[in-house]
Amino acid sequence: MTTGTTLTHWGAYEVDSDGNSITGVRPFAKDPDPSPIGDSLEAVTRSRVLRPAIRKSWLEGGPGTRGDLRGVEPFVEVSWETALDLAASELERVRTTHGNSAIFGGSYGWSSAGRFHHAQSQLHRFLAVIGGYTDKRDTYSHAAGEVITPYVVGYDYWDLQQAHTSVSVIAEHTDLVVSFGGIPLKNAQVQNGGMGRHTLRGRLQAARDRGTRFVNISPTRDDVAPELDAEWLAPRPGSDVAVMAAMIHTLVIDALVDEVFLETHCVGWAELRSYILGNADGTPKSADWAGELSGLDPDRIRSLARELTGCRSMLNISWSLQRSDHGEQTWWMLIALACVVGQIGLPGGGFGIGYGAVASVGNGAPRRSFPALGRPANLVDDFIPVSRIADMLLHPGTPFTYDGETRSYPFIDLVYWSGGNPFHHHQDLNRLATAWARPSTIIVNEPFWTSTAKRADIVFPATTPLERRDVGGSSREDFLFALEPVLEPVGESRDDYEIFSDLAVRLEVGGEFTEGRTSDEWVRHLYEGFESRYPDSPTYDEFLAAGFIQYPETPDTVKILFDAFRADPEVDPLPTPSGRIELFSDTIAGFGYADCPPHPTFLEPREWLGSADEYPLHLLSSQPSTRLHSQLDHGATSAARKIDGREVMRMHPDDAAARDLTDGDTVRVFNDRGLCFASIEVTDGIRAGVVDLPTGAWYDPVDPSAPGSPCRHGNPNVLTRDEGTSSLAQGPVAQSCLVEVEKAVAAPIPDPHASPDFIG
């Protein structure tokens, strides 16, 4: 029996193992609110890629052979030497024939919480060493927000997030928290790099115990925990910007605007005020106007706006709202509303972006430079906005706009993916399947037979964190963990580092990639570099013996966003062109984008209930509570939430009754883009006209050979639209999606996590 510590993006756990399987899992003792997702760790030995595998037609006919059969035909298991030779030869062919820009380094996903065995870092280091690759910009989580934030406050969103007012400060000072999209604790289970302590629930409860009121403006009631007794206002999805604009309108009409703050700390108020009053378009952005768009009571919009100025108030917005048509406007208008209220920089006042989105937002931890694997500069200039993969593969050479530039999609002949699952998180999976057939070769490093692995040409079996030594932790928390292997590598799986090292040797850059170190030597090297920056840290051997480091809390854990800027904007200006918060951006005005005006604006979504016709229900695709996106979908926690093996979709009783549906029924969810099957839960905790189908069910079409075949498992991304938020950010618009639902036959489904067929 072996016991060791492992770290996941949803927390740390003590794991018991007999060497071949997990026999017990216990949450880290210092975690006050551990995630139940840890109960699924026993699944890490199932659905595994056991040996290197090559798609049959590719092996027989070579690169470019029958890409349309990806996901359809069987694989042939081969030796490591054969698979590595084929992959190295293909990488050499592509970079020699087309140049390195024809290689897409498609690692996107949370992969491992380890700092060395991090699949994306390993892949990008390898591809940089062999001459470069086409990369991506931003994240599916908040691409539109990432691009707009620097124009408004000057800071990169990641730096802004780190500076957020601590939730402990909110608990002590805030009287009213108004959150567009809620503060979902299920999302705060997770943190990139892992989390030793989950503190958000306790700190929010402390705020409620002191008397803080919470208002949840969201189509779903449980986006704020029930113990917080939040008032629930349920708008139509896509109308939040209109509601915020109407609150500003109320404050203008009632002369409750903080004119001093707007004068001293902002630019562009005159232009925004003119828009709010409707001077140019003849439409005042009043509460009556917003009530028509949102379905909310106009009187409550007005009274809530007044309440913001009558007490210490904090405005928050979820990441999900900017994953929609014109998503840039959501964050911008929230910041504008906070400026009009005028409490930015005060203890417990102002705004937050993403409280509850991940565990670290507002946790107050000082940012430390934790160990990380570096990589040489990427010599290829080409990139795409993160969610424009299908556009790139389908339309090489086509121009696209992004952040003030006009670029062209590169030609991609080879995709190398490691540490992610685009056939989970990308929109319009049927369109992606068509695009996925275009490259000559797709190579995947993957522990599990995911829907992406099943659609590759060469699949290398990779280990999981439970099978290797590493150091792990989030730079936004006060823990660093020593990860020890508790399982033998499953099948013939190897670490990503070993796979890339062997490929690098074949491509004559082995020394440059490895720098002469084994993986364990790299882990020690990274830790010792960290130790040199933080001399109060234990030695590496002491660290291994202890299992983790916890740094003591410091005064830096009490943070107030923009307090120094508020105190003196001349001494501590923001890094915007004006040094102020920009409610009107001359830079964005210069881009001339019709779909992204130079001040926050309500633009009607291209797909929403305000214009629903054939498809009368708005589909939300939320983060699940039982897994991290698609990770461990085959685990016990995820399986327990499903009905008849299908993902559960929530629906309002009125919508269910209109379709003669009851709890547990199997349904068809469909629109012009696709169809999936799901089971339903009838609940009054969701707005009528809205349904919520969480992401992460492994994509499993009934007939992979038939274009547009229904997903029998319940992946909502067969339904979502694959378009950009605007010409500025080109982010994903998953939350702008209309569907219809009808009853279906409840037939058993095959295991969606099963391995593909093999021959030979």
Give the residue among 437, 427, 451 at the shortest CA–CA distance from 671: 427
Give the per-residue SS3 of 488-532.
CCCCCCECHHHHHHHHHHHCCCHHHHHCCCCHHHHHHHHHHHHHH
What would the two tokens of residue 38 be?
């840890």
Q: What is the pLDDT of residues 513-551, one digit of tens each?
A: 999 999 999 999 999 998 988 888 899 999 999 999 988
Q: Determine contact, residues 721/325, Cβ cutoff 8 Å.
A: no
pLDDT at 368: 74
For residue 263, what are the CA distances in angstroms to 149, 335, 538, 589?
21, 15, 51, 21
Q: Which residue has the tokens 């309440």?
A: 307
DSSP state of 571: T
pLDDT at 477: 84
Kind plus residue range of the DSSP H or E element containing 424: helix 422-425
Asked whether residue 566 carries a pLDDT value surpassing 70, the answer given is yes
> Which range has the top average pLDDT, 279-288, 466-475, 477-486?
279-288
CA 101 to chain centre: 26
Arithmetic mean of pLDDT, 630-636: 95
Name the band, by pLDDT with cuts 50, 70 and 90, for residue 495: very high
Asked whether residue 555 carries a pLDDT value surpassing 60, the answer given is no
SS3 675: strand
| pTM score of the predicted model | 0.97
| Domain limits, CATH 3.40.228.10, in the chain | 165-363+562-591
Arithmetic mean of pLDDT, 455-477: 94
Q: What is the pLDDT of residues 77-95, one digit of tens each?
A: 999 999 999 999 999 999 9
Residue 505: which residues within 8 A CB-CB, separation 6 or more? none
SS3 539: coil
pLDDT at 46: 96
The Cα 608–Cα 613 span in angstroms is: 10
Q: Determine contact, residues 228/205, Cβ cutoff 8 Å.
A: yes
Arithmetic mean of pLDDT, 346-362: 96
The Cα 558–Cα 566 span in angstroms is: 17
Beta strands in 131-254 (DSSP E): 135-137, 176-180, 213-217, 231-233
Distance between first and last Cα of the chain: 37
Name the band, by pLDDT with cuts 50, 70 and 90, for residue 586: very high
For residue 517, what are the CA distances in angstroms to 114, 115, 512, 522, 523?
18, 16, 11, 6, 10
The Cα 711–Cα 729 span in angstroms is: 30
Task: For the sheet with 458-461, list strands across it.
Answer: 75-77, 53-55, 458-461, 441-446, 414-418, 103-105
Q: What is the pLDDT of residues 357-381, one digit of tens each?
A: 999 999 888 777 777 888 899 999 9
The four Cα atoms 271, 276, 282, 285 give a dihedral, to 10 degrees, of 160
pLDDT at 557: 67
Active site residues: 108, 110
Residue 423 main-chain phi, psi, to 5 deg: -80, 15
pLDDT at 553: 57
Q: Determine contact, residues 312/172, Cβ cutoff 8 Å.
A: no
Q: What is the pLDDT of residues 297-311, one digit of tens each?
A: 999 999 999 999 999
- The angle, 0 to 180 degrees and rounded to 10, between the axes of the packed helices 119-129 and 496-506 is 10
β-pair type (11-17, 2-8)? antiparallel
- Give CA angle at 248 (246, 252), nearest 5°: 115
Whole-number average pLDDT of the chain: 96
| Domain limits, CATH 2.40.40.20, in the chain | 609-743
Asked whether residue 552 carries a pLDDT value surpassing 80, the answer given is no
Residue 600 main-chain phi, psi, to 5 deg: -60, 135
Burial class (CB in 10 A: 0-12, 13-18, 19+), 706: exposed
Whether domain 609-743 has CATH 2.40.40.20: yes
Q: What is the pLDDT of residues 177-204, one digit of tens each?
A: 999 999 999 999 999 888 899 999 999 9
Burial class (CB in 10 A: 0-12, 13-18, 19+), 512: middle
Q: Which architecture, in CATH terms, is 165-363+562-591?
A: 3-Layer(aba) Sandwich (3.40)
CA 718 to chain centre: 18
Give the residue among 433, 420, 358, 356 at the shortest CA–CA distance from 393: 433
| Domain limits, CATH 3.40.50.740, in the chain | 2-139+383-467+483-515
Beta strands in 89-219 (DSSP E): 103-105, 135-137, 176-180, 213-217
- Give CA angle at 242 (236, 245), nearest 5°: 150
Asked whether residue 320 carries a pLDDT value surpassing 60, the answer given is yes
Kind plus residue range of the DSSP H or E element containing 401: strand 399-402
CATH topology of domain 2-139+383-467+483-515: Rossmann fold (3.40.50)
Arithmetic mean of pLDDT, 716-728: 98
679: which strand partners? 648, 666
For the chain, helix, strand, coil in percent to 5 are 35, 20, 45
Give the residue among 236, 157, 338 at the shortest CA–CA distance from 729: 157
SS3 104: strand
Asked whether residue 110 carries a pLDDT value surpassing 90, the answer given is no
Name the band, by pLDDT with cuts 50, 70 and 90, for residue 760: confident
349: which strand partners? none
Q: What is the pLDDT of residues 18-52, one digit of tens each?
A: 999 999 999 999 999 999 999 999 999 999 999 99
